[in-house]
Amino acid sequence: MPRATRGREKEAALETNVKAIELKDLWRRYKTDGSDKAREQLVVAYSPLVKYVAGRMSSGLPAHVEEADLISYGLLGLINAIERFDLTREIKFETYAITRIKGAIIDELRALDWVPRSVRARAREIEKAHAKLEHQLHRTPTDDEMARELKISTTEFQDALVKISTSTVVALDELWAVSDSSGDAVSLLDTLQDPDAPDPEQLLAQSEVKDRLADAIAALPEREKLVIALYYYENLTLREIGEVLGVTESRISQLHTKAVLRLKSRLQGDNLRD
């Protein structure tokens, strides 16, 4: 689904709740006068964003994770976004809110530890094997090489990539929290024009992490780079990406997992060299 189409969907959803001129007045009353009623009305006005984000995230999660639960988690992110948003910043509230909504949902999923232990254990094994082989070979290992290292068949390895793909829904958020040069964890969710305006030293550290991530993404094979861009930046589901690229959803799951492994290995390697 093209970005412009999704943008129109979100804008149309908001227009059904409140007109732009009314939104402007609500923001003024809340930020200037501290009106609780205006805050509540803003939550209602922007609530379609929560349903939009939760609906798209739910498609990549196991069936037992209900969309209604994601919506309740996302509402906390929306409230946080409304409270922290700075009207003087040159950024659309919708853009900022979606980041906060996603972050709140991911935080809650992680806290609930919803990924089965067997899947989590297999994901750790694959990540460890990938890092080991990349260090030994000075390149990205092939599927056959990974399978031999794990003592399983290539088909079993590829099936495992699909199974652990759902656990990597939060993988890039965890990857966002790689350590900076000082050893402190930095979350890239908090670097997207944070209204709290961190101090210059913190901004520099965040900029370093973002630059490393951009370099790591740029070094990905073209298809994996495209999957990352479409999934995390364009908000397409794995199924939609498969339709765009003309391959199955399971193949996109494999590419997504491989891309996350490469990115984590690249960034962790950068940290070791610092």
Task: Determine which helix (DSSP H) or strand (DSSP E) holds 224, and give its type and residue range.
Answer: helix 222-228
- In this prediction, residues 138-167 reach a mean pLDDT of 90
- In this prediction, residues 151-172 reach a mean pLDDT of 79
- Tell me which residue of 109, 100, 107, 99 sits closest to 60, measured CA to CA: 109
Query: Is residue 238 predicted with pLDDT exceeding 50?
Result: yes
- Tell me which residue of 268, 270, 259 sits closest to 140, measured CA to CA: 259
Query: Is residue 180 predicted with pLDDT exceeding 60?
Result: no
pLDDT band for position 187 (cuts 50, 70, 90): very low
Which three-class secondary structure state does DSSP give residue 210? helix
Question: Is CATH 3.40.640.10 the classification given to domain 3-112?
Answer: no
Q: Are 231 and 256 in contact (CB under 8 A)?
A: yes
Q: Are 179 and 185 in contact (CB under 8 A)?
A: yes
Q: Which phi and psi angles does 69 have, rounded to 5°?
A: -70, -40
The pair of three-digit structure tokens given for residue 20, joined into one six-digit string: 């732009």
d(CA 149, CA 147) in angstroms, rounded, equals: 5
Amino acid, res. 64: H
CATH of domain 117-273: 1.20.140
Per-position b or e across 44-83, b if 16+ CB within 10 A of its CB:
ebbbbbbbbbbebbbebbeeebebebbbebbbbbbbebbe
Q: Are 80 and 68 in contact (CB under 8 A)?
A: no
| Prediction pTM value | 0.65
Mean pLDDT (the chain, rounded):
78
pLDDT tens-digit series, residues 97-109: 988 898 898 888 8
Residue ranges of domains in the chain: 3-112, 117-273
pLDDT band for position 251 (cuts 50, 70, 90): very high
pLDDT tens-digit series, residues 3-54: 544 554 455 445 545 677 788 899 999 999 889 999 999 999 999 999 988 9
